[in-house]
Amino acid sequence: MTSGQYTAQPSSHGTAEPDFDVIIAGCGPTGAMLAAELRLHDVRVLVLEQETEPASFVRIVTLHMRSLELMAMRGLLDRLLRHGRRRPVGGVFAALPGPAPEGLDSDHAYLLGIPQPVVVRLLEEHAAGLGARVRHGAAVADFEQDDEGVTVAQADGERLRARYLVGCDGGRSTVRKRLGVGFPGEPSRNETLMGEMRVSAPPEEIAAAVAAVRETERRFWLRPFGEGIYSVVVPAAAGGTRAQPPTLEDFRQRLRAVAGTDFGVHSPRRLSRFGDATRLAERYRAGRVLLAGDAAHIHPPIGGQGLNLGVQDAVNLGWKLAAQIRGWAPDTLLDTYESERRPVAEEVLDNTRAQTELLSPEPGPRAVRRLLTELMGIDEVNRRLVEKITAIGVRYDFGAGPGLLGRRLRDIEVAQGRLYDLLHRGRGLLLDRTGRLTVGGWSDRVDHLADPTAALDVPCVLLRPDGHVAWTGDDQRDLDGHLSRWFGRPAG
């Protein structure tokens, strides 16, 4: 089977109906969210997940404000809140101390700490409940594409046909590699050990040692999960390799070297290491194959942005790919996935580079850290960094227009309750305070709410399915032009 760079070629499969509209490689948060978004539009989806069993470790991740908003838009937030712990939106940039800014432009102005396996399980259940098929113990080994679709070969030799393939298969993505898309950036310079294990030392001894070490070494902590289990993070020895997983003895040695004690760690349930490699795919699409999540970008975990960036990729891509498959997408709509999301990833890579430098124990970065800590006492500086990390400051380039254009709209009050409750189906929405406008021939893909009481500073807004503002105004002809731009030709 020949793969690599895409060149248009005729199909050798005749007019046979493909097995699926979309095959997704990987059922992590990005793949599961994308599958659900596609199923909202009746797209036939198969997700191939290499792992046969859910992860047994309890890695805690942080859902940021923008991701929480997206979960609310799809009716998922309450389920997630039951399994997580809220905390204030402060100290998110390089763990610099600072309060949460007041009056953030979100009704979900908090962070949610939640076990990653729980996020994956809930998103997979959501996708399956909508009709997505998920096949565990299966992986994409190779593929070939033509003008009409993609033929996917699984590791066991079975072949399937789909209209599109999306690689959500992580930083070492098989799909990206077989597609021949470059992944330039910087290799890992610093390795960090991370694990979950029991600790014999008294809690007060641990807390005192952690506080002392973190005065100079920010890549270090022991955080309790409960029942004697701790999350342990410590810098790895120089010259180590990621080829072999770390051992408990590796953790003991590094803890003694950094903290002067190994805290009596024992009974590990997860041992791993991660690096600070920073890479961005040269492109997110080649023909009928696309990339999302870690398959498209990797960066150090500082700031907790990776999972969030991938979920946000999925929501941006889902409705556009569905529109392409359902036949109403404007010619350039699918191209906007890369033109919108790749610059966002570039900014994330840059801010993680900056944060990583601030973690260095060297005198220069420590001096910059002290200076930036002082500057974060200025509300505008603190607010800007929080909005950057939590992604509520993202504005897509929709061209010249008012300040709202291209931005997400917060969950405002409307006559029927809350705005985000109207977006559960993944459709566009015209929120009309004038009562004079109509979505006309686009009503099969855009909802219309006439509500003069809506808490808006503009007459009307047109929202895309991802909650970003595609238009504001009160002129029907102008609205029709923007409906065509984002939702294609009217029906009928």
CATH of span 413-487: 3.40.30.120
DSSP bridge partners of 199: 265
- 20-185+279-355 topology per CATH: FAD/NAD(P)-binding domain (3.50.50)
- Token code pair at residue 244: 């072999």
- Token code pair at residue 421: 């409750």
CATH of span 192-274: 3.30.70.2450
Distance of alpha carbon 407 from alpha carbon 4, whole angstroms: 36
Mind listing the pLDDT tens digit of every residue in the chain (492 residues)? Answer: 444 444 445 555 555 689 999 999 999 999 999 999 999 999 999 999 999 987 766 678 999 999 999 999 999 999 999 999 999 999 899 989 889 999 999 999 999 999 999 999 999 999 999 999 999 999 999 999 999 999 999 989 999 999 999 999 999 999 999 999 999 999 998 899 999 999 999 999 999 999 999 988 888 999 998 778 899 999 999 876 666 789 999 999 999 999 999 999 999 988 988 889 999 999 999 999 999 999 999 999 889 999 999 999 999 999 999 999 999 999 999 999 999 999 999 999 999 999 999 988 899 999 999 999 999 999 999 999 999 999 999 999 999 888 999 999 999 999 999 999 999 999 999 999 999 999 999 999 999 999 999 999 999 999 999 999 999 999 999 999 999 999 999 997
Domain with CATH 3.50.50.60 in the chain: 20-185+279-355
Q: In what order do the strands lie in the sheet with 192-199?
A: 221-226, 229-235, 192-199, 265-274
- Residue 64 Cα to chain centre, angstroms: 10
Domain with CATH 3.30.70.2450 in the chain: 192-274
Least Cα distance to 8 among 211, 173, 147, 185 occurs for 147
3-state SS, residue 464: coil
Is the sign of the CA dihedral 400, 397, 426, 290 positive or negative? positive
Domain with CATH 3.40.30.120 in the chain: 413-487
Neighbours of 167 (CB within 10 A): 31
Q: Which letter does DSSP use for residue 205 in this model?
A: H
Strand ranges inside 98-242, DSSP E: 111-115, 133-136, 140-145, 150-154, 159-167, 185-186, 192-199, 221-226, 229-235
H or E element in which residue 62 lies: strand 60-63
Distance of alpha carbon 437 from alpha carbon 397, whole angstroms: 25
